[in-house]
Amino acid sequence: MKIVVCIKQVPETNDVTIDPVTHNLDRRGLAGVMNPFDKNAVEQALQLKDADKDAEVVLLSMGPDDYAESLREGMAMGADAGVLLSDRAFAGADTLATGYVIAQAIKQIGNVDLVLFGRQAVDADTGQVGPIVAEFLHQPQITYAASLRLSGTNEVTAERLLEDTKQTLVATLPAVVSVRSELNTPRYPTPRNIQLSFAKPLTVWHHDDLDLDDSRLGQAGSPTIVTKVYAPEPVKRELTPLTGTPTEAANQLITALKNRQLI
Amino acid sequence: MPSTTAAAEKLLLQMVDDYTAREIAPQDMPMDAAGDFPAGFVQQLTTTGFLGLMLPQEFGGAGFGPEVTATALNHIARGNASTAVTLEGHFKTIDQILKFGTPALQQQLLPSANDRIFAFSMTEASGGSNPMGISSTATREGDHWVITGDKIMITNGGLAQVYCVLVKTAPQELSVFVVDQDMPGFSFGKREDFIGLRGTPVGEIVMDHIIVDDDHLLGKLGDGGMIGDSAHDDARILMGAVLTGIMEHELKIATDYAKERKAGDKPLTKLQVTHRKVADIAMRKETTKLLYQRAAQLKAAGRPYSEEAAMAKAHGSRAAVSAGDDTLQILAGYGYSREYPVEHLIRDARAMEIAEGTVEKMRSAIANAEFNK
C-alpha cells in the first residue's frame, strides 16, 4: 500500500500579515513548523504502516527550500520518503493552483492508494486543498475524519465529525481523506530517527519535473485573491428590553415576533 | 541549505522543546511535591529515545555530539531540572564506558543503554570528595573478581540498572568495575530524602560478594581515580547546562511577573531595583551558558576541558541559587510560597554546589590548573 501525506509548513506564530503587493500571506523571516493538523495525518499513515510493514508512506509538500525541514520532521516520525515541490512558477498560488500542482505530483508518484491531509492549515485556515486535490484526481474524498480504518478488500471507512453530526462514510480506494486532530496523538520523532531520517530520500521536483499546464500555475492560475485577513467586528444590534410582568413581557415578545412576520 | 548535522540538531532541539513543554514541564511542581518521577514518566522518556541521545549509532543510539547533548539538557531543565539531571547521570556513565570499556564490554552493555539507565557511583559513608577514603573492594579470587561494599548518594541510585563502581583493588589502588542489578549479591539500600531535585532518585547500592570477570573492569587496574575525574568532568559540563536551564526558568518567572505587577502606581518593570535584579539574573544565566558551551566545544574538539567544566559548574551553581534568590525577592510573598516554583528552583540549584564535586573542590581544581600553566 502506498500512502501520500500532504503537509504544509506554517509560521510558528499566528501573527501573519498580508503582503500589500501580492496579497499573499507574508511568511518572510518567520520560523516555520509543520502544520499541527498535518501531524495527525502523518501519524495516521504511520499507524497504517505499523500494521502493514509493506506499506510505504511518502510525504509531499509545496513551498520554498526550507519546507524540507517539515518533510524531514515527518520522515523522522517514520515516513519513508519526502517530495518537495519547489519552483518560482508555483509561487503565489491559491488553493486551486496549489491543489492542481499537488494532484499532478501525486499522479507522478504513481500507484497511490490513499492520500491524507490535515483538516486545514493553521495559517490560512481554508481546508480546501484536500478536496481540490480529490477533484483533480477524480477520486472519492472524506473530509474531517475523526477515525479511519481500512475495510473490505479495497475500502477506507471513516467517521466524519462535523459540528453537530457524525457520519460514517465508506470510500473505495484510491481515495483522499482529510483528518481531524481528534483522530490520534502524533508520535514524537526519536533522537535516533531524527539522525536516520537524513539517510532517507528527499526529492525536490521543480516545474520541469512535472507534467503541468502553465496557465494553472502560481498567481496567474489563481482565481482568488486574499485582500485582507481580519477578525470580523461584532455586529451591534438594536435591543428592545421586555418589561413588566412575565405575562406582559411574553405578550410584548409575541407582538414583536408577529410584527417581523416570524410567527 | 544547512549541513545535515546542523539540520539534525535543529530538529532534535525542536523535538526536545516540544516534548519538554507537553510532557515534562507540567510534571515539575507535582514531581517536587511527590519526591519522585510520576508513574510511567521514565518509561515514556525511554520510549521517546532520550536515553540513547548521545549513544553512538553503532550501539543503537542517536549519536549526537557533546555540544547539542548539553544544549538538549539545558532545554529540558527549563521545564524540569530533575529530568535533566537523571539524563546527565546516565550520559556521563555511558561516556566512561565509551572511553575506557573494552570493545567487548561496550558491545555487551551499551545497546541496553537505550532502554536501561546507567549510573556512576563513587561516594561512600567513609569518602566522598576523598576517593581514597572508600572501603569497597574488589578482591581477586581465581580468575574473577569479588566485589564487596556499600555505595551511597548515587544519582539514579535505585532507578538505574547498570552501575560503574569505584573500588579498591589494593590499599592504594582505585579501579572501576561495571556491575548489573541482576548479578547475585546486588541489592538496593535506602533512598535519600534530599531537599532539591526531588524527582531524581538518589540512593544506595549494596554489593555483597558480586562476582565479575576481568572484562567488567574499566580501563586498567589503578585507573579508578582518573576515570572518576573523567566522569566528573563530563558531568560538570552537563550540570552547567542544567543550571543554565534553571536560570532561564527563573528569568522567565521574574520577567513575566515584573511585567504584570505594580508597586503603587508604578509597574515593576519601571523600577531600578527590578532592573538590577533582572539584569543580574540574565548575566548569570548567559555566563554559565557560555562556560558550559565552551567546555562542550573543547570536548567535541578532543581538547582538555576539565578546568572549563569545573568553571561551568562552580560558577553556574552559585549563579542559579543567587538568581533564584533575586527572583524570589521580585515575587516577594509569592516567591516565598510553595504555590510558585521559585523556592524549589533554588533547592534544585543548591544540589549542584555539592554534587559531582563541591564548589570548594571545583575552585581548587581551577586554581591548580592556573598554577600549572
Interface probe for B, chosen from A192, A198, A202 (most Cβ of B below 10 Å), is A192
Percent of chain B having pLDDT more than 70? 99
Nearest-CA distance B64 → chain A (Å): 8
Q: What is the DSSP string of A148-214?
A: EEEETTTEEEEEEE-SS-EEEEEEESSEEEEE-GGG--PPPPPHHHHHHHTTS-EEEE-GGGS---G
User: Which residue in the set B8, B10, B18 is minimally distant from A195, CB to CB?
Assistant: B8
Q: Give the whole-angstrom CA distance, residue B250 versus residue B238.
A: 18
Which chain B residue has its CA at the smallest distance from A199's CA? B4
Chain B residues with CB-CB distance to A33 below 8 A: 14
Among residues B114, B134, B164, which one ends one of the domains?
B114
Please state, as a whole number, how many other Cβ atoms lie within 10 Å of the Cβ of residue A247: 8
Residue B129 contacts A, CB cutoff 8 Å: no
What pLDDT was estimated at residue B193?
Answer: 94
Catalytic position from the list B67, B204, B356, B360: B356
Q: Which residues contact A51 (CB under 8 A, 6 or more apart)?
A: none
Cell triple for B34: 511527590
Least confident range from A64-68, B46-50, B97-101, B323-327: namely: A64-68
Cβ–Cβ pairs < 8 A, chains A and B:
54
- Place A18 in a pLDDT band, splitting at 50, 70 and 90: low
- Asked whether residue B97 falls in the same domain as residue B8, the answer is yes
pLDDT of B212 over the 80 cut = yes
User: Which residue in the set B10, B14, B62 is minimally distant from A195, CB to CB?
Assistant: B62
Q: Give the whole-angstrom CA distance, residue A210 versus residue A198.
A: 25
Chain A residues with CB-CB distance to B13 below 8 A: none
CB distance B247 to B281 below 8 Å: yes
- Asked whether residue B28 falls in the same domain as residue B43, the answer is yes
- Place A124 in a pLDDT band, splitting at 50, 70 and 90: confident
What pLDDT was estimated at residue A153?
Answer: 84
What pLDDT was estimated at residue A22?
Answer: 65
pLDDT of B1 over the 60 cut = no
* Domain limits, chain A: 2-216
Nearest-CA distance B8 → chain A (Å): 6
- B12 and A191 within 8 Å at the Cβ level: the answer is yes
- Asked whether residue B155 falls in the same domain as residue B189, the answer is yes
What pLDDT was estimated at residue A225?
Answer: 79
Least confident range from A67-81, B67-81, B123-137, B283-297: namely: B123-137
What pLDDT was estimated at residue B102?
Answer: 95
CB distance A156 to A114 below 8 Å: yes
What pLDDT was estimated at residue A25?
Answer: 64
Is B204 among the residues known to form the active site?
no
Chain B residues with CB-CB distance to A191 below 8 A: 12, 15, 49-50, 52-53, 61-62, 64
Task: Quick: pLDDT tens for B98-148.
Answer: 999 999 999 999 999 999 999 999 999 987 667 888 999 999 999 999 999
Task: Quick: pLDDT tens for B257-276.
Answer: 999 998 888 999 999 999 99
pTM of the model: 0.89
Over residues B146-166, the mean pLDDT reads 97
Residue A57: its H or E element = strand A56-62
What pLDDT was estimated at residue A121?
Answer: 82
- Place A15 in a pLDDT band, splitting at 50, 70 and 90: low
- B1 and A65 within 8 Å at the Cβ level: the answer is yes
Residue B75 contacts A, CB cutoff 8 Å: no
Among residues B61, B90, B114, which one ends one of the domains?
B114
- B12 and A190 within 8 Å at the Cβ level: the answer is no
- Asked whether residue B160 falls in the same domain as residue B250, the answer is no
- Asked whether residue B295 falls in the same domain as residue B260, the answer is yes
Over residues A78-99, the mean pLDDT reads 94
Read off the CATH number of the domain in which B10 is found: 1.10.540.10
- Asked whether residue B50 falls in the same domain as residue B179, the answer is no
- A191 and B7 within 8 Å at the Cβ level: the answer is no
Task: Quick: pLDDT tens for B167-197.
Answer: 999 999 999 999 999 999 999 999 999 999 9
- B7 and A193 within 8 Å at the Cβ level: the answer is no
Structural domains counted in chain B:
3
Residue A142: its H or E element = strand A141-151
ipTM tops 0.95: no
Over residues B19-39, the mean pLDDT reads 96
- B14 and A188 within 8 Å at the Cβ level: the answer is no
Q: Give the whole-angstrom CA distance, residue B169 versus residue B176.
A: 9
> What is the domain range of residue B86?
4-114
Task: Quick: pLDDT tens for A221-240.
Answer: 899 877 777 777 888 888 88
Q: Give the whole-angstrom CA distance, residue B91 versus residue A197.
A: 23
pLDDT of B305 over the 70 cut = yes
Q: Give the whole-angstrom CA distance, residue A171 versus residue A177.
A: 9
- A195 and B49 within 8 Å at the Cβ level: the answer is no
- Asked whether residue B145 falls in the same domain as residue B60, the answer is no
Nearest-CA distance A33 → chain B (Å): 9
Residue B201 contacts A, CB cutoff 8 Å: no
Over residues B338-349, the mean pLDDT reads 97
- A188 and B15 within 8 Å at the Cβ level: the answer is yes
What pLDDT was estimated at residue A164?
Answer: 86
Which residue is listed with cell 455586529? A235
User: Which residue in the set B7, B11, B52 is minimally distant from A192, CB to CB?
Assistant: B52
Read off the CATH number of the domain in which B278 is found: 1.20.140.10
What pLDDT was estimated at residue A27?
Answer: 61
- Asked whether residue B346 falls in the same domain as residue B242, the answer is yes
What pLDDT was estimated at residue B350?
Answer: 98
- Place A206 in a pLDDT band, splitting at 50, 70 and 90: very high
Least confident range from A15-24, B283-292, B350-359: namely: A15-24
Which chain A residue has its CA at the smallest distance from B55's CA? A192
Q: What is the DSSP letter of B24?
A: I
Which chain A residue has its CA at the smallest distance from B58's CA? A192
Least confident range from A225-229, B83-87, B153-157, B323-327: namely: A225-229
Find, among B92, B112, B105, B115, the residue nearest to B212 by Cα.
B105
User: DSSP E strands: which ranges in chain B?
Assistant: 118-121, 137-141, 144-155, 162-170, 173-180, 186-191, 202-212, 217-218, 262-263, 266-267
Find, among A79, A70, A92, A16, the residue nearest to A45 by Cα.
A79
Burial of A34 (0-12, 13-18, 19+ CB in 10 A): buried
Which residue is listed with cell 481554508? A126
CB contact burial B31-45 (16+ within 10 A = b; e otherwise)? bbeeebbeeebbeeb
- Place A123 in a pLDDT band, splitting at 50, 70 and 90: confident
pLDDT of A23 over the 80 cut = no
- Asked whether residue B249 falls in the same domain as residue B217, the answer is no
Which chain A residue has its CA at the smallest distance from B72's CA? A191
Q: Give the whole-angstrom CA distance, residue A220 versus residue B65.
A: 48
Interface probe for B, chosen from A190, A196, A202 (most Cβ of B below 10 Å), is A190
Among residues B223, B252, B268, which one ends one of the domains?
B223
Chain B residues with CB-CB distance to A12 below 8 A: none
Cell triple for B315: 560558577
Read off the CATH number of the domain in which B122 is found: 2.40.110.10
CATH 3.40.50.620: does it fit domain A2-216? yes
